[in-house]
Structure 1
Amino acid sequence: MLESLPLADIRAFVMTADHGSFTRAAEQLGVSRSQVSKQVTALEQALGVSLMQRSTRSLRLTESGHLLHAQCRSALGDITQIVTLVREERNAMRGRLRINSVGGPIGERLLAPAVHAFMQTWPQVQVELDFSSHRVNLIRDDFDIALRMGALEDADFIARPLMTLPYVVVASPDYLARHGAPNTPGELVDHRCLVGSVSRWSFTARGAESRELQVDVGAQLECRNGHVLVSGAIAGNGIIRVPRLYCESAIARGELQELLSDWQPADVPLSLIYHRERHRPLRTVRLIEHLLEWFAR
């Protein structure tokens, strides 16, 4: 029965009891007198008791009416206070934000400085930065936003592009001395490859004829950690395909060499994703705006 009692009817009853008049209660609620009278009557019918004794000049609460008024007045006050707190919390720049992102250089060198700058601006916001390698579900895993690489097909969230990550295919001089260098992407199937989350590598031919090619490579080592892939390649264990950001210093030192000069590995987009909910806390809105501006620079 409780589920069938409209809160508006209870509020109309409490307001009428407070003011001792349907007319004054209607003025406070911004509705007609007849509407308030109908709401109180509907509440009485739902409860099966008389709450008010009515006359042409006055209203008097019954014993049941006094009992209900005392309890509901207190409860409505609590509800009003809670609603006020929720609204204040939504519009306050404080509270916790949970962010999930791919780790390695992307999380450490691209995202972390942006988060540090955000926290300098909004010191009352607490941030939990998670670099879990598994692909999280924003709602199930209770994250406010996430950074994801690659194509996004899930329609349950909003995706905003942050940047495009150039990729390279590299190996160490030691590996190339022992195994030779592939001349075309198709020759990768005969080489030792160290693979992250993607074993189908895409390429576009450089030059006037921009042919596209995809190759399913074997995984001599499979690991979602970019540091491990780079260190494995430097150790001479195989060929890797990673964002240039991951290994540009190793290339500069001569520890790794770029391969397949006639072919460009497909770039991969990095996107910011968040819930589709219409009413999001102000701290989440400000973080989204901050990250979009940060990566745009």
Structure 2
Amino acid sequence: MDQSDTSQHGFRVGLPNRTDDLSNCFATSYTGIIAFMAVATEGSFAKAGERLGIGRSAVCRNVQKLETQLSTRLFLRTTRTTHLTLEGERFFENCNQGVTRIVEAMNDMLELREGPPSGLVRISSTVGFGRKVVEPLLERFIEAYPEISVELLLNDCPTDFVSDQIDVAFRDGRIEDSSIIAKQLIPMQMALCAAPSYVQAHSLPNSLEELCQHECINFRSFNGRVCEWEFKVDGRVRKYLPTARRTFNDADLVLNAVLQGRGIAQMAGYQVCEHIARNELVMGLRRYAPDDRGHYICYLSRQHLPSRIRVFVDFMTDEIRALNLLCLPDFYTDHPQSDIHA
């Protein structure tokens, strides 16, 4: 069996591990290269030590270790002067190219955070909120930041920031993921609504017990389950699963059916606030409206946030809070608009 043979267990044997060689080489030469570059640039070991914040003797040791590793003399040293050898000049030229690339890479990263906002922002949003609220604001954002491009993905499934490469996500309801930053934009009001034509024909329920007497319209969520209606009774959440002849997995279809007078449904305030203001919908059971949900803008970390993401979060926060999306104006007046994080 030669060095390239494979063992009976499927492992290759007798070959050097190039990754380990690279790691070992880099670990032993890194400090030496830094010391070498400083000496070559400053022209003396003492000045190189001052620049690096270490003693002259430490600089000498690091350079000597590098010369031993390379089996090459890099400097000609006298008591008064220090000069590069021909080999040292060649080594400096090659290393300087790498250092330049590293400095450029670091400046590029700093520019992402501190420079003019640019690049792509990948956004995820629940379908209804994305259509109604997020998408109409994107054109104004692009006009304000012409160097930024956006990609909006509508999906009611939970966001996987890493595998989906999402920068910012808009989520509704209650945020239970402690690994993300979740900044509440506005409270999420849930309103039981019907069209005036339905109210005229069937009236509205006066209590939760009367819900079973009405034509209810349900929403089926991304996980296949029909969403329960929630109410707050005597300070506690009470859930109700209506019997319905109409069920949709799209919030806009639920809204359209209600507007057509087909029945009643519990919907998010951002969907219905304009229709209530225009008297196209009527609210019922207001006193039982739940008050523990929110609309959130989410991202992975508050630290080291690229400027393109930071300005997007700030822009959307200000713009969405300025919209009139609350169907109950006095609802949540004392609720803090806080951040939730790990």
**Shorter-chain TM-score range:** 0.7 to 0.9
Say whether 1:2 aligns with 2:25: no
Say whether 1:289 aligns with 2:314: yes
How many residues are paired up?
A: 292
CA–CA distance in structure 1, aligned partners of residues 102 and 212 of structure 2: 65
CA–CA distance in structure 2, aligned partners of residues 231 and 202 of structure 1: 21
CA–CA distance in structure 1, aligned partners of residues 312 and 279 of structure 2: 39
Residue equivalent to 1:25: 48
CA–CA distance in structure 2, aligned partners of residues 154 and 246 of structure 1: 25
Residue equivalent to 2:328: none
Say whether 1:268 aligns with 2:290: no
Please, what TM-score do these two structures have when normalized by structure 1?
A: 0.78
After superposing the two structures, state which structure 1 stretch, 237-246 or 55-64, moved more.
55-64
- Aligned residues of 2:73 and 2:88 also touching (Cα < 8 A): yes
**What one-letter code is carried by the residue in structure 2 that aligns with 1:164?**
P
Residue equivalent to 1:125: 148
Mapping for residues 5-84 of structure 1, pairs under 5 Å: 5-6=26-27, 7-19=30-42, 21-44=44-67, 47=69, 49-52=71-74, 55-57=77-79, 65=88, 68-84=91-107
Mapping for residues 92-241 of structure 1, pairs under 5 Å: 92-104=116-128, 106-171=129-194, 182-186=205-209, 188=211, 192-197=216-221, 199-205=227-233, 212-217=237-242, 220=245, 222-235=247-260, 238-241=263-266
Deviations 1:10-34 (A, max 9, x none): 2222333455532243344343212
Q: CA RMSD in A?
A: 3.5
CA–CA distance in structure 1, aligned partners of residues 87 and 22 of structure 2: 16
Shift of 1:227: 1.0
Residue equivalent to 1:242: 267
Structure 1 unaligned regions, length at least 5? none
CA–CA distance in structure 1, aligned partners of residues 107 and 188 of structure 2: 44
Please, what TM-score do these two structures have when normalized by structure 2?
A: 0.69
CA–CA distance in structure 2, aligned partners of residues 68 and 2 of structure 1: 18
Q: Structure 1 vs Structure 2: percent identity of aligned residues? A: 26
After superposing the two structures, state which structure 1 stretch, 284-293 or 250-259, moved more.
250-259
Shift of 1:162: 1.0
Structure 2 unaligned regions, length at least 5? 1-20, 323-342
Deviations 1:204-249 (A, max 9, x none): 24xxx55642223456555443211112334565532102332345
CA–CA distance in structure 1, aligned partners of residues 119 and 156 of structure 2: 25
CA–CA distance in structure 2, aligned partners of residues 262 and 121 of structure 1: 41
Residue equivalent to 2:13: none
Q: What is the SS of the residue equivalent to 1:136?
A: coil
Shift of 1:203: 0.7
